[in-house]
């Protein structure tokens, strides 16, 4: 690595030295608790659409905790946060727009 890269890596390391261990244990506990809730809901045999909504909600929450705290995106500069998250979310929205109406069309109209 050149001098600039070493300096940037050292700055990133310096920022991480201030993160306490306890925070990571709290995040891990929250992730385990949300997993336990998901499994509990499965055994409750809820109505599928309602269950899917709750499960996806919890999954996005878990993903946000992992990206924010474990992957340290919360501590990156705003430009990094916005560009990475907006680009991936935009691609997933595009996939949703193209995939799901078509899948539902098969259910409603049948395959010809």
Partner 1 sequence: MADSAVHDVPSIYEPSLFGTYSKKIGMWLFLLSDSLTFGALLYAYSYGRISLGKDWPTPFHSESIVNATIMTAFLLTSSLTMVLAVRASVHGDAKNQRLWLLATMLCGTGFIVLHGREWTKLIAEGLTLSMFPAVPGQEAASEFASVSKGVPQFASTFFTLTGMHMLHVTLGVIYLGVVALRRKFIPILLGLWLVAWLATPVYSPFHYGAHVLLIAAIVCGIILWLKPKVYDSSDVEVAGLYWHFVDLVWMFIFPLVYLMSAKIL
**Residues found near partner 1 in the complex (CB under 8 A):** 1-9, 12-14, 16-17, 19, 21, 24-25, 28, 31-32, 35, 38-39, 41-43, 45, 48, 51-52, 55-56, 58-59, 62-63, 66-67, 69-72, 76-77, 79-80, 83-84, 87-88, 91-92, 95-96, 99-100, 102-104, 106-107
Instruction: Specify the 3-state DSSP secondary structure of 76.
Output: coil
Mention every residue, 6+ apart, whose C-beta is less than 8 A from residue 28: none
> Please, what is the minimum distance in Å from the beta carbon of residue 58 to partner 1?
7
Residue number with CB closer to partner 1 (5 or 112): 5
Give the whole-angstrom CA distance, residue 73 versus residue 12.
Answer: 12
The pair of structure tokens assigned to 79 is: 């430009």
CB 63 within 8 A of CB 27: no
> Please, what is the minimum distance in Å from the beta carbon of residue 59 to partner 1?
5
Residue number with CB closer to partner 1 (48 or 112): 48
Q: DSSP code of 42?
A: H
């Amino acid at each position: 690595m050149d001098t600039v890269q070493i300096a940037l890596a050292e700055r990133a390391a310096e920022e991480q030295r201030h993160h306490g261990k306890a925070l990571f244990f709290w995040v891990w506990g929250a992730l385990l608790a949300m997993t336990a809730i998901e499994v509990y809901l499965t055994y409750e045999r809820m109505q599928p659409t309602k269950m899917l909504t709750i499960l996806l909600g919890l999954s996005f929450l878990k993903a946000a905790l992992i990206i924010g705290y474990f992957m340290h995106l919360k501590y990156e500069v705003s430009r990094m946060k916005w560009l990475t998250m907006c680009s991936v979310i935009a691609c997933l929205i595009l996939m949703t727009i193209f995939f799901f109406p078509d899948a539902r069309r098969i259910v409603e109209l049948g395959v010809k």
